[in-house]
Amino acid sequence: MNYIWFFIILVSIISAAVTGRMENLINAVLNSAQKAIEVAIYLAGIMAFWLGIMRIAEKSKLVNLISKFLSPAAKFLFPSVPKDSPVIGDIAMNFTANAIGVSNAATPMGIQALRGLQELNKNKKSASNDMCMLVGMNTAAFQLVPATVIAVLAANGAKNPTEIVFPTLIVTSVSFLSAIVIAKILEKIMPPQTIEQSTENGGKK
Residue, of 102 and 93, whose pLDDT is higher: 93
Q: Across all residues in the chain, what is the average pLDDT?
A: 79
Amino acid at 151: A
Residue 160 lies in a domain: yes
Residue 101 lies in a domain: yes
Task: Give me the number of domains the chain comprises.
Answer: 1
pLDDT at 202: 52
Crossing angle (nearest 10°) for helices 62-77 and 129-140: 110
Residue 80 lies in a domain: yes
Residue 175 lies in a domain: yes
Residue 121 lies in a domain: yes
Collapsed DSSP state (helix, strand, coil) of residue 58: helix
Residue, of 122 and 103, whose pLDDT is higher: 122
Predicted confidence band of residue 92 (pLDDT cuts 50, 70, 90): confident
What is the Cα Rg of the chain in Å? Answer: 22
131-186 pLDDT, tens digit per residue, is 888 988 888 888 887 777 877 787 777 788 888 888 888 998 999 999 999 988 98
pLDDT at 140: 84
Q: How far is CA 180 from CA 11, 100, 187, in A?
A: 43, 19, 11
Residue 164 lies in a domain: yes
pLDDT at 205: 46
CB of 134 closer than 8 Å to CB of 114? yes
CB of 99 closer than 8 Å to CB of 145? yes
Domain enclosing residue 119, as ranges: 45-190
Residue 205 lies in a domain: no
Distance, in Å, from the CA atom of 155 to the CA atom of 5, rounded to the nearest integer, reads 25
Q: Is 61 left (phi over 0), alpha (psi -120 to 50) or beta?
A: left
109-140 pLDDT, tens digit per residue, is 788 888 888 888 888 888 888 888 898 888 88
Distance, in Å, from the CA atom of 92 to the CA atom of 163, rounded to the nearest integer, reads 27
Q: Is 128 left (phi over 0), alpha (psi -120 to 50) or beta?
A: beta
CB of 101 closer than 8 Å to CB of 148? yes
Distance, in Å, from the CA atom of 118 to the CA atom of 192, rounded to the nearest integer, reads 13
